[in-house]
Amino acid sequence: DSGVTQTPKHLITATGQRVTLRCSPRSGDLSVYWYQQSLDQGLQFLIQYYNGEERAKGNILERFSAQQFPDLHSELNLSSLELGDSALYFCASSVTGAGANVLTFGAGSRLTVL
């Protein structure tokens, strides 16, 4: 157990739907990162939050949004889902939001869009 908790582990939904993925960071970590992993693109950085504020943005689609709450847990919202959104979504946390951080990853949420 890495200490980073992601729910749900598996999610199957239909195109056009909206889902929310949840992440609880490791105790003491202030920064949360979201990554999308697919076979063809690898692990792609989506977005980073530090202590409730957005810190960095990667290849996140406009249909996707995220936030970090005062208790430091984070949610990734995916809307108007398309077949191509099927992927593993990982949350990671770190103590600070600076570069060269050690990231601790959760076990991921596997999203299947039918």
Residues near another protein (CB under 8 A) are: 2, 4, 33, 35, 41-45, 48, 55-56, 58, 90, 92, 97-108
Backbone angles phi, psi at 84, to 5 degrees: -70, -10
Tell me the closest approach of the beta carbon of residue 4 to another protein, in angstroms.
7
What is the spatial distance between Cα 82 and Cα 101, in angstroms, rounded to a whole number? 33
What is the spatial distance between Cα 79 and Cα 17, in angstroms, rounded to a whole number? 6
Question: What is residue 92's three-state secondary structure?
Answer: strand
Tell me the closest approach of the beta carbon of residue 95 to another protein, in angstroms.
13
Q: Which is nearer to another protein, 17 or 38 (CB)?
A: 38
The residue count of the chain comes to 114
Tell me the closest approach of the beta carbon of residue 61 to another protein, in angstroms.
16
Q: Which is nearer to another protein, 72 or 106 (CB)?
A: 106
Question: What is residue 20's three-state secondary structure?
Answer: strand
Q: Which is nearer to another protein, 48 or 74 (CB)?
A: 48
